[in-house]
Amino acid sequence: MELKDKVTQLKGVGPKKAQALEKLNIRTLEDMVFFLPRDYEDRRNRLRIGQLAEDMTGAVEARVTMIVPDGYRRGGKQLLRLLVSDDTGSMEVIFFNARYLKNVFKQGESYLFFGKVSRNFGKLQMVHPEFERASEAGSGILAVYPLTKGISQREMRNWQEAVRPLYEKAEDFLSDEMKSANRLCSLRYALENVHFPEEKQSLLEAKYRLIFDELLVLQTGMMAARAAAKEGKDGIAFSRDADISEYIDSLPYSLTEAQSRCVREIEEDLESEKAMNRLVQGDVGSGKTAVAEIALYKAVKSGWQAVLMAPTEILARQHFDGIGSAFRAHGIRVGFLSSSVGAAEKRETLEKIKTGQVQVVIGTHAVIQPEVEFAALGLVITDEQHRFGVRQRVKLREKGRNPNVLVMTATPIPRTLSVVLYGDMDVSVIDQLPPGRQPVRTRSIGQEKRDLCYDFVKKQLEMGRQAYVVTPLIEGSESVDARSALQVSEELRKRFSGYRVSLIHGAMKQAEKDEIMDAFHRGSIDVLVATVVIEVGINVPNATVMVVENAERFGLAQLHQLRGRVGRGREKSYCFLIFEGQSEIAKKRGEIMERSSDGFFIAEEDLKLRGPGEIFGTRQHGLPDLNIADLSRHLKIMNHARGEAKVILEKDPKLESAENSGLKRRITRLFGEDLNLDL
Ligand code: ADP
Ligand code: MG
């Protein structure tokens, strides 16, 4: 038996099981060895039913005395109910929506049930416990694996047992020196104790080692790829004679100090031989677009093409309309690309991009499609970059030969994490709003004040202002109890007779959405009822009211983004968050929104309320899926690993030495063959 052998070598793995295992990314025995548990069951203490009390978690061996026939429902769900007992008492075991289990259990047989004890009408219960036939049940601390349909914990545990002899063949890619410096156990010990832990302490040591490994592999891989991408390629230096002041002077306002600083930093980068790699962080409304425009202008004046990619069609259009008309006044030719552009027009635009006639391209992810070829791309910009994955950014950059890169975001990212995500990207912060802005007055209210809220909106309309009303749903739904955009727009049409109320949502045709957004920009729509399609970037300074219906359905960061749609002009602006129900977390969110308009503060609070998973999900940032490490929880280990990664790469930048061959293999495993992850 060897690590590289296929799983079909294992007893009980035929084509069907192999297919199921493939879904878990397990193809070889090595994959099996490195497939880690998601949790553990401590079966060392078997409990008797007589000892059980509410909220205990443990293993109980008991005999099935009755299988209650189906037809029993609760909350519309089909239930399977078992009565089980030992000589100290009896309890119920409940499974929801699991009728197939009916034929799995046999009356009179004994099983081991593992789960949490609850009480229902005084009766002891276990709901959805893990279970095994008592005669086959394992003991000790048992690993629980993240499985897929067609594979049981029991099968997985058997296979894991079968590959145990391979642990000693798994190459320990860390040097003894590094292990002792970081107090790490051997890989063999780690594998042994993560799959078959004897006690909690050894399990912790094992996990620490494996988390460290994963983070080391992640960081070494990203750093090495980054270095390789830069190597031998010079950046593009823009001309010192390309004067941006002419463009800045033509703007309808003067730049804030923060914008000016940011522009200076960018210009310095652009004029240097080194490729620019810069992140601009600025809260909603801080004026990031102007900064991007100036950079685009500099590129064109230096004789290069430039591209700006936005995450939504509406936002891309808005940039095209705004920047496009400003640039035309300077004789700069701007092209637009998105999936909604017709075939003939698209062909023409593509041709002009290829020949260099179009100097600036603005669009959605359509700009990274293979058929888009540039004559001489010198600058790429992504707006609201947190909406894009790593891969999309890389693709955009690959449209040129090491072009200058600028990414813009309103989402604050803790430094520790941005180091991993963006490497050594330089950061500019726009920490100032344009003058004359007043904070948006925010009120979180209950349903009882809804009428008052809309009376207020009406007064604003009478003053010639415009309003947004955002709802969580497009249409009414049976299963979700929340207001829908359709319903609200009907209601508001009646309430605001004499004003133009329009509806916009994600399921509409693009042309229709464009028309509506256009009309709202021009002021020929007064009230725009919308779903979150307007969440990012939209800029209509005359809109002064934002009403969010069922605000409890939105996260804090999202509410902040929505509120950022108003307060963009000189007029005083208002935001009403209408909450349904009294949930604690909703109340807390409302308070935070009333108290603060600082995106960084709000993001931190969001983190506390929602937990880190949602914000730092690797998927959201386009990183490879991690097995055991968690970027939000293991920042400390990450810093350790990062330090070690640097040491390794300083000595051996391309990981060519025999000593690092194991590490290199692990990097390939994590990122896949395509390691050209130029971050
Ligand atoms: P964001 O940073 O959220 O992308 P935008 O670039 O959309 O913000 O700018 C928001 C609004 O502020 C726009 O209406 C823009 O014209 C205006 N603006 C930007 N910079 C300034 C400035 N220096 N002075 C006055 N208004 C500005
Ligand atoms: Mg913006």
CB 63 within 8 A of CB 84: yes
Supply the CATH classification number for the domain 45-138: 2.40.50.140
Q: How far apart are the first and last CA of the chain?
A: 39
Question: Residue by residue, what is the 3-state secondary structure of 198-242?
Answer: CCHHHHHHHHHHHHHHHHHHHHHHHHHHHHHHHCCCCCCCCCCCC
3-state SS assignment for residue 297: helix
* Helix or strand run (H / E) with residue 243: none
How many CB atoms within 10 Å of residue 614? 13
Helices 200-230 and 187-195 sit at what angle, rounded to 10 degrees? Answer: 120
Fold adopted by 441-596: Rossmann fold (3.40.50)
Q: Which two tokens stand for residue 135?
A: 């005669």
* Rg for the chain, CA atoms, rounded: 30
Q: Which residues pair with residue 300 across a beta bridge?
A: none
Domains of the chain, residue spans? 45-138, 245-272+287-409, 441-596
Question: Best substitution site from 320, 536, 539, 542 to test ligand 1's pocket, by max atoms within 8 Å of Cβ?
Answer: 539
What is the reported pLDDT for 679?
33
pTM here is 0.68
Ligand in closest contact with the CA of 568: 1
Which protein residue has the closest C-alpha to ligand 1 atom 25? Answer: 434
The atom of ligand 1 lying closest to the CA of 286 is 2
CB 411 within 8 A of CB 386: yes
d(CA 580, CA 480): 13
CB 435 within 8 A of CB 256: yes
| H-type alpha helices, 302-446 | 313-328, 343-355, 390-397, 415-422
Q: Which two tokens stand for residue 303?
A: 């004789």
Side-chain half-sphere CA neighbours of 421 within 13 A: 27
Backbone angles phi, psi at 388, to 5 degrees: -105, 150
Burial 221-234 (b: 16+ CB within 10 A, else e): bbbbbbeebeeeee
Pocket (CB within 6 angstroms of ligand 1):
253, 255-256, 259, 282, 284-290, 410, 434, 537, 539, 541, 568
In the chain, which stretches have pLDDT less than 50? 612-620, 677-679
> For residue 39, which of 194, 264, 260, 261 has the smallest C-alpha distance?
194
The atom of ligand 1 lying closest to the CA of 288 is 2
d(CA 272, CA 240): 9
What is the reported pLDDT for 583?
78
* Helix or strand run (H / E) with residue 124: strand 123-127
* Helix or strand run (H / E) with residue 637: helix 635-651
Ligand in closest contact with the CA of 260: 1
Q: Which two tokens stand for residue 199?
A: 């006690």
Question: Best substitution site from 253, 385, 571 to test ligand 1's pocket, by max atoms within 8 Å of Cβ?
Answer: 253
CB 152 within 8 A of CB 132: no
3-state SS assignment for residue 567: coil
The atom of ligand 1 lying closest to the CA of 292 is 6
Supply the CATH classification number for the domain 245-272+287-409: 3.40.50.300
Tell me, yes or no, if the two domains 45-138 and 441-596 fold the same way: no
CB 663 within 8 A of CB 648: yes
Ligand in closest contact with the CA of 281: 1
> For residue 252, which of 313, 325, 185 has the smallest C-alpha distance?
325
